């Protein structure tokens, strides 16, 4: 992270790139037992949450990530009743999940409660579903929670994690995926943020291999823009417990009730169309 009192800049030395936002002021900073969290007021993107020097969420563009990490997977499952969000402490993904009336229960498992409490203060619009009677907020280790989850108790697992470093590193391996597979019902699915197709294709390939090695029948990639993340182009990886085509429950009347800013039926279908270099890398 670079800060000169005018601009916040996140340099990415490995990829030779950087992202910057013009700042107003830093309004909060603290070191939790897990990470350093900072909140900035920016000139054009509203509030910005930064964790360990990396951009996490902004007021202006968060809808892209939260909508695409939830709705494509939910509408690709025939009947998602029980959902868990691992990570996602800003609560935006939980909010999108609970827009679906078919969801009976959604648990958010976040290791650092301070992320959620700061989101409630600086991103209250993301936390409007926290009091939904179908929602449970659990503050603890997502890896341990998944290991202890009852077999075949979940329909959809959303891994809304930070990059695969620090507390999130264990969420990107075969051992964790085995526990996810066990917790899923037949036909269940996992979707995990999988970084930039342009900058992190090797990681995406490793993730899909680990998902297959864990026993998932097939994997797919979906992609979407995300301005404040490296390259501005992001992805989610879906792993299906059993083989077969994705469900496509895209009823126009139902979609209208979602009140989304980016996601719609056309975006849903387009998000699963991947470029040739990604096809070659994944062998599809």
Listed in sequence order, the DSSP H helices in the chain are 62-68, 71-74, 92-97, 113-122, 142-148, 174-183, 201-214, 252-256, 265-271, 276-282
Length reported for the chain: 284
Q: Which two tokens stand for residue 256?
A: 């209208």
Torsion angle of the four alpha carbons 250, 256, 259, 264, in this order, in degrees rounded to the nearest 10: 40
- Contact between 51 and 118 under an 8 Å Cβ cutoff? The reply is no
Catalytic residue among 61, 82, 160, 179: 160
Residues 268, 75: Cα–Cα separation, whole Å: 9
Annotation marks residue 13 as catalytic: no
- The Cβ of residue 198 has, within 10 Å, a number of other Cβ atoms equal to 18
Rg (CA), the chain: 18
Residues 210, 252: Cα–Cα separation, whole Å: 36
Active-site residues, by number, are 160
């Amino acid at each position: 992270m670079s800060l000169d009192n005018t601009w916040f800049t996140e340099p990415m030395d490995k990829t030779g790139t950087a992202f910057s936002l013009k700042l107003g002021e830093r309004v909060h900073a603290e070191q939790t037992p897990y990470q350093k969290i900072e909140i900035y007021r920016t000139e054009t993107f509203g509030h910005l949450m930064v964790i360990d020097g990396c951009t996490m969420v902004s007021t202006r563009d968060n809808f892209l990530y939260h909508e695409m990490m939830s709705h494509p997977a939910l509408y690709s499952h025939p009947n998602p009743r029980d959902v868990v969000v691992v990570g996602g402490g800003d609560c935006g993904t939980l909010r999108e999940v609970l827009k679906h009336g078919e969801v009976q229960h959604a648990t958010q498992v976040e290791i650092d409660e301070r992320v959620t409490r700061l989101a409630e203060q600086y991103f209250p619009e993301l936390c409007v579903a926290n009091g939904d009677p179908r929602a449970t907020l659990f503050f603890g280790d997502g890896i341990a929670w998944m290991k202890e989850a009852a077999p075949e108790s979940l329909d959809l697992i959303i891994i809304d994690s930070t990059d695969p470093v620090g507390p999130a590193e264990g969420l990107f391996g075969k051992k964790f995926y085995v526990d996810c597979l066990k917790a899923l019902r037949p036909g269940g699915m996992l979707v995990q943020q999988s970084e930039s197709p342009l900058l992190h294709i090797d990681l995406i390939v490793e993730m899909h291999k680990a998902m297959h090695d864990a026993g998932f029948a097939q994997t797919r990639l979906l992609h979407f823009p995300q301005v404040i993340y490296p390259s501005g182009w992001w992805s989610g990886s879906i792993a299906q417990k059993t083989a077969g085509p994705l469900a496509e429950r895209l009823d126009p009347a139902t979609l209208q009730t979602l009140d989304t800013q980016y996601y719609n039926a056309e975006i849903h279908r387009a998000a699963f169309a991947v470029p040739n270099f990604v096809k070659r890398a994944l062998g599809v």
